[in-house]
Structure 1
Amino acid sequence: MSIRYPAPLQPGDRIGVTSPSSGVGSQLWPRLEFCIKYLRDLNYEVIVGDCMDGSGMTSAPAPDRAAELTAMLVDPAIRAVVPPWGGELAIDLLPLLDLEAISAAEPTWLVGYSDLTTVMVPLTLRTGIATLHGSNLMDTPCAVPQPLLPWLVAASAPAGSTLRQGAARAYRSGRHEHYAFHPQVQKMTFNTPGRWKLLSAPDDPAVAVSATGRLIGGCLETISMLPGSPYGDLVGFASRHAPEGLLIYVEVAEAEAVIVARMLHHLRLAGWFDHANAVLVGRSAGPPSGDFSQHDALVHALDDLPVPVLYDLDLGHIPPQLAIVNGALGTVALTPATATFVQRLT
């Protein structure tokens, strides 16, 4: 069964903005307004929903958030939905989303990361519609370093296209510009050299590995809650859509190392790596647990998997971000000289 890709996003198209999880506080509204203007200056039409309040844990009651997100995803005039950011409790939307209506409609891009993947992963698993893991709306004006692609470029690619990316030379660490004080910032500071690594041989200068499979993944803290529910049937997705096998990717937002190890073991026990041709792990923003590091967590849970495990990739809560299409056929390759990431929208 084929993956369904939304139509290419083009200037003049309508983009919907809603907050399925956390809303935007008053201090950050200037940044939100700047980001909306940024898209409008690129000749996109932008509409903003009612579920945007940032005064509480969520932007609105769950039924309202689910109804607004569903309405945007089934509206044929809206070609992409881009929330400001994630949050904490998008999981409460899952039983309320009208997945049948979304599946019956023409596909629309849903873009984001973090808690948004709590919705994006089930949407792809249940409907076969591609979703786009990439920078959220509040980060969209910030330039993405080559050879990475902005989500707007990925969303503009038609079905059948090939997207080529690779490892960034550096990533952001330490203090950075806060949007509350710098609402019009369009540049991130990437101040720490980085490279992608193979878990079984992180310091081997001669390492060479590649793997191909259908891409699926997201924020570990949230998608690890999905196995065992009707919204986390990765095995069924693999049998329907991925005879080639899977490339599973995860990234840690803030969980400490021992919790990361537990969540990864949970995914293993649930069979989430049974059809994997490789596991890709983003650069972690989480702390250690005493002397037990984030790297130790990966070794504890994944080191004996019979497939390559690559880590410190450019995805997740430490910028910059690869644009990753859930459902696309991906190939990741690591050699002594290069680190490449190719996606085919087939």
Structure 2
Amino acid sequence: MSIRYPRPLRPGDRVGVTSPSSGVAEPLRGRLDAAIKEVEARGYEVVVGRCMDGTTHISAPAAERAAELTGMLTDPTIRAVVPPWGGETAIDLMSHLDFEAIGRAEPTWLVGYSDMSTVLAPLTLLTGVATVHGNNLMDTPYRVPEGLVSWLDVVAAPQGEPFAQTPPGRHYTGGRPDWIGDPGMRDLPLAGNGGWRRLDGGGDLDVEGRLIGGCVETVAPLAGSPYLDTRGFAGEEPLLVYVEACEDDALVICRHLHGMRLAGFFDRAAAVLVGRTRAPDAPTLTQDEAVLDALGPLGVPILADVECGHVAPYLPLVNGARGRVVHTAARSEIVQTLD
């Protein structure tokens, strides 16, 4: 299956906002408005869907959420779709989404992370349409640290031209930001220090492959199903598989990763990128040890503390893009090419 990239966004294009998983509670509508204004400031028209209710863990019944998302992804006037954030049960969309119609339509960018990776990875694997993992709409007002790019930069990037990202060496260590008191918040105190780390031993790393991955807690239940099948994806090219833990303890993450490995998700991995996490260790197992226990048998490089998870700042990764990861004592970089 060849990878298809949506065309780059241009000023005047329309961006759809819908909540395929959780909607936005009324006290947080100010943050939603601020995020929409950030997108409009780039010259785009924003179209907000009906599935936005935030009174429960889902914005609407599954069939309605799936229909709205399918409609936006097949509407030729909408060039990108971004949710406010993830949620809990986007897995209930799988049997309702019209992947065939989405695959036939002119490609549209779909952006998100967390529970949205439950949709992003299957969409790319089943249709060949590239998707963007890395930011949600509510994160968009944050200033992007030097070395990283915003999802808004990715969806406007010229196809075929590589773009590089490097770890800023700083990350957020605080609790939930106060978007109610400061809905337009643009700066997070990046008080934590540290860059990428090899979990599987030392030595320089220089590896290439097609990117695919997502949030462990939300994509692991799809392992072994047609929705997370990497066989035949991007021909026989090697894969750069990225995973990240949101909140489950190390024992749960270990079981999930074992299950994904046994289902074949990592079979063509040339390397595994592991997102920085605040998820807790278990009394007898750390998060690092969980990864090594489950994925060490692969015998491939494992790079930890990559900014592709729930810890800000965020490093967007394009599912389906050709990636090259370099990690040495002097340099850490990922270069993605939309070809």
TM-score (norm 2): 0.98
Residues 281 and 309, structure 1, Cα contact 8 Å, conserved in 2:
yes
User: How far 1:304 moved relative to its partner?
Assistant: 3.1
* Separation in 2, partners of 1:113, 1:55: 21
SS, match of residue 215 in structure 1: strand
Q: Please name the residue that 1:132 is paired with.
A: 132
SS, match of residue 145 in structure 1: coil
The one-letter code sitting in structure 1 at the alignment partner of 2:33 is E
> Does residue 217 of structure 1 match 2:210?
no
Any stretches of 5+ residues in structure 2 without a counterpart? none
Q: Please name the residue that 1:170 is paired with.
A: 170
The one-letter code sitting in structure 1 at the alignment partner of 2:16 is G
Residues 24 and 84, structure 1, Cα contact 8 Å, conserved in 2:
yes
Bigger mean CA offset, 40-49 vs 69-78: 40-49
> Does residue 245 of structure 1 match 2:241?
no
Residues 168 and 314, structure 1, Cα contact 8 Å, conserved in 2:
no
Q: Please name the residue that 1:285 is paired with.
A: 278
Q: Please name the residue that 1:64 is paired with.
A: 64
The one-letter code sitting in structure 2 at the alignment partner of 1:105 is A
Q: Please name the residue that 1:122 is paired with.
A: 122
* Separation in 1, partners of 2:266, 2:135: 26
Alignment equivalent of 1:297, drawn from 272, 290, 293:
290
Identity of aligned residues (%): 53
* Separation in 1, partners of 2:215, 2:175: 23
* Separation in 2, partners of 1:177, 1:221: 22
Q: Please name the residue that 2:108 is paired with.
A: 108
SS, match of residue 333 in structure 1: strand
The one-letter code sitting in structure 2 at the alignment partner of 1:200 is D
> Does residue 326 of structure 1 match 2:319?
yes
* Separation in 1, partners of 2:276, 2:172: 11
> Does residue 343 of structure 1 match 2:339?
no
Residues 253 and 290, structure 2, Cα contact 8 Å, conserved in 1:
yes
* Separation in 1, partners of 2:71, 2:176: 36
Deviation string 1:164-187 (CA, Å, 9 cap, x unpaired) is: 111121010024632122101111
Q: Please name the residue that 2:250 is paired with.
A: 257
* Separation in 2, partners of 1:210, 1:255: 31
Residues 16 and 82, structure 2, Cα contact 8 Å, conserved in 1:
yes
Deviation string 1:187-239 (CA, Å, 9 cap, x unpaired) is: 122111111011122xx5xx3111110000010111111122221111232xx
The one-letter code sitting in structure 2 at the alignment partner of 1:24 is V
Any stretches of 5+ residues in structure 1 without a counterpart? none
CA root-mean-square deviation: 1.1
Residues 31 and 138, structure 2, Cα contact 8 Å, conserved in 1:
yes
Q: Please name the residue that 1:40 is paired with.
A: 40
SS, match of residue 297 in structure 2: coil
Residues 277 and 308, structure 1, Cα contact 8 Å, conserved in 2:
yes
Aligned residue pairs total: 339
Deviation string 1:76-112 (CA, Å, 9 cap, x unpaired) is: 0000001000000000001101111101100000000
Q: Please name the residue that 1:236 is paired with.
A: 232
- The 5 A counterparts of 1:52-201 are 52-175=52-175, 177-201=177-201
Deviation string 1:123-179 (CA, Å, 9 cap, x unpaired) is: 000000000012100000111111111111111113212111111210100246321
SS, match of residue 303 in structure 2: strand
Q: Which runs of 4+ in 1 moved over 3 A?
A: none
TM-score (norm 1): 0.96
* Separation in 2, partners of 1:303, 1:178: 39
Residues 176 and 189, structure 1, Cα contact 8 Å, conserved in 2:
no
* Separation in 2, partners of 1:289, 1:332: 30
User: How far 1:60 moved relative to its partner?
Assistant: 0.2
Q: Please name the residue that 2:28 is paired with.
A: 28
* Separation in 2, partners of 1:140, 1:271: 34
Bigger mean CA offset, 223-232 vs 19-28: 223-232
Q: Please name the residue that 1:268 is paired with.
A: 261
Residues 224 and 260, structure 2, Cα contact 8 Å, conserved in 1:
no
Q: Please name the residue that 2:7 is paired with.
A: 7
* Separation in 2, partners of 1:231, 1:278: 21
* Separation in 2, partners of 1:333, 1:345: 18
Aligned CA distance change for structure 1 residues 176 and 62 (closer, same or farther; 3 Å): closer
The one-letter code sitting in structure 2 at the alignment partner of 1:311 is A
Residues 214 and 242, structure 1, Cα contact 8 Å, conserved in 2:
no
